[in-house]
Copies of this chain bind each other. A is one copy, B any other.
Amino acid sequence: MSGNSIGKLFTVTTFGESHGIAIGGIIDGCPPGMALSESDLQGDLDRRKPGTSRYTTARREDDEVQILSGVFEGKTTGTSIGLLIKNKDQRSQDYSDIKDRFRPGHADYTYQQKYGARDYRGGGRSSARETAIRVAAGGIAKKYLKEQFGIEIHGYMSQLGPIKIDKVDPAVTNTNPFFCPDADKLDALDSYMRDLKKSGDSIGAKVSVIASGVPLGLGEPVFDRLDADIASAMMGINAVKGVEIGDGFAVIEQKGSEHRDALTPQGFATNHAGGILGGISSGQDVIVHMALKPTSSISVPGKTIDVDGNEIDIITKGRHDPCVGIRAVPIAEAMLAITLMDHCLRHRAQNAQVHSQTPDIAGKAE
């Protein structure tokens, strides 16, 4: 049933299969008066798209987005924005051999059972290609968040298999194909990925996203909490199996005296909470981490069954990322932007004039 929309006031709805005619989406709720053109969105689409380096799939997808509505004379009109990306490189023949078999670790089996049939070409609707529209939608949100609220979002790859990133230098992140913010780890990554590719196997990754400049007060306290909505947005990215806010799973072994972030007249002393307290943004940086599983599309042989239930061997041929986590960086940024955008609009609906805020310490110092 319907489940292709996210957001309450800033609503993103998508359609499209990997090898269909086109993918697209409707962005509903962008306020009027913002300058917007395709070029504002293309940068992130290019960061996401495959074929940009030898570490990602060699598949070429010209993710050229077209804005079909909602923009007039260069500015948003406040009405729904239609986005379209035509599918080009659709070599369907590559996928004909998976028509009658279920690739392990993929959605082939669950789609087949849920729907009784599936568009098997390239994963159909379950393909990561669908996320291109999320990235475009996120681009709209990012622009608005920056211009109206001063929010900036920085995503990076924070671990690849055994290689952990120690240093986060945002200036480095987008200068390398790994979205790695630590220049000292680039050689290790390069060498690890080369070996991995030779082995025909794949590897998991950790991706982190930080939003700075987030206004205090985003998030509803019980169910539409900011952290709950972020968790949903991130877990909804293909291959994500875990989400953390702030210290995340490390809190299990922390003591209260250690974890709690002291408030001082100059601001919070630390940010173990990851910028969210009681489901509401505290004005500190919002910090999110997520774990992405290794793709199951590998050339290492595996066991599976065909659609008739017979045991078979499977080797995934074709062009696949040995680490799908890498390209998730712009997707994670987009999903955080979409979530924050929704909550910024919701927050605004509450009358600021009705109550007078106590002096805002957030952002003074950390």
Contacts and interface: CB of A to CB of B under 8 A. Distances in A.
Contact of A351 (B7, B148, B259, B362): B148
Given A2-B8, A15-B70, A110-B277, 17 more contacts: A1-B345, A13-B26, A14-B26, A15-B81, A31-B350, A33-B117, A77-B118, A111-B221, A113-B217, A125-B222, A159-B252, A161-B255, A204-B255, A242-B251, A272-B293, A346-B349, A348-B349
Quick one: copies of this chain in the complex? 4
A2 B29 contact: yes
Given A4-B26, A105-B260, A201-B255, A310 B355 contact: no
A32 B354 contact: yes
A10 interface: yes
Contacts of A205: 252
Looking at A21, A203, A235, the one whose CB has the most chain B CB atoms below 10 A away is A235
Interface stretch (A39-47, A49-57, A261-269): A261-269
Contact of A6 (B223, B249, B297): B223
Interface in A65-108: 66, 68-70, 72-73, 75, 77-82, 84, 102, 104-107
Looking at A20, A110, A345, the one whose CB has the most chain B CB atoms below 10 A away is A110
Contacts of A340: none
Contacts of A246: 241
Contacts of A224: 2-4
Given A241-B244, A349-B348, A257 B307 contact: no
